[in-house]
Amino acid sequence: MKADKESMLLYIVTDRTWLGDKTLVSQVEESIKAGATFVQIREKDMPFNEFVAEAGNIKEITDRYHIPFVINDNIEVTLASEADGIHVGQNDRPAREVRAMIGKEKILGVSVQTISQAVEAEKDGADYLGVGSVFSTSTKLDADSVSLDTLKEICSAVSIPVVAIGGISEENIMQLKGSGIDGVAVISAVFAKPDIYAATKNLLELAKKTVAR
């Protein structure tokens, strides 16, 4: 599984805050059926064995639909669950170390906020970049904000795919049009909605318009 520009179009990041009586696996599958193109599982406090099991369950779904699947910031779970790759931030292990640990075949995504971070991440082996937070977000309160101008400059400075993240919703997504991004990463814009399928489908159409060159 590879992270190309097409797979970046609608990148979903899981959050069990809004599970209710549903399972994470069912929510992910619902979103994929509606057009999600990439899945990241993000769990900060889940015990290792439970995390590996949950990741394995989601990978069964993503494999079935031929969608790339990465783990947020956990090399051990990435390797144990045989996920397609990992996504790391600036406060995690350096990208070059992560690349050495996961090998050449797995996907490596890196969060960046500046042009220099973006260029360095690409040089160190990143397959794609997550840039944000492009809007204020309640999901990650400590996220640094990235201006539209910086987002454009990052897109121009690298040759790997770029996905914008942070507070993106159907109300503001079109503000990113013309920035050069290859897609958007969303959390609450999908998982906080009562109808995940409808929310994903709508966002997919808006994402297509947003990334249109």
3-class secondary-structure state, position 36? coil
Residues 81, 111, 179, 188: which is the catalytic one?
111
For the chain, the distance separating the N- and C-terminal CA atoms, rounded to the nearest angstrom, is 25
3-class secondary-structure state, position 76? helix
Q: What is the enclosing helix (H) or strand (E) of 85?
A: strand 85-88
Would you call 42 a catalytic residue per the annotation?
yes
3-class secondary-structure state, position 87? strand
Residues 42, 59, 99, 106: which is the catalytic one?
42
Task: Annotate 149-180 with DSSP letters as a single string.
Answer: HHHHHHHHH-SS-EEEESS--TTTGGGGTTS-
Closest C-alpha to 188, from 9, 31, 25, 6: 31
Would you call 188 a catalytic residue per the annotation?
no
Residues 140, 152, 193, 201: which is the catalytic one?
140
Rounded CA separation 191/186 (Å): 9
Would you call 116 a catalytic residue per the annotation?
no
Active site residue ranges: 42, 111, 140
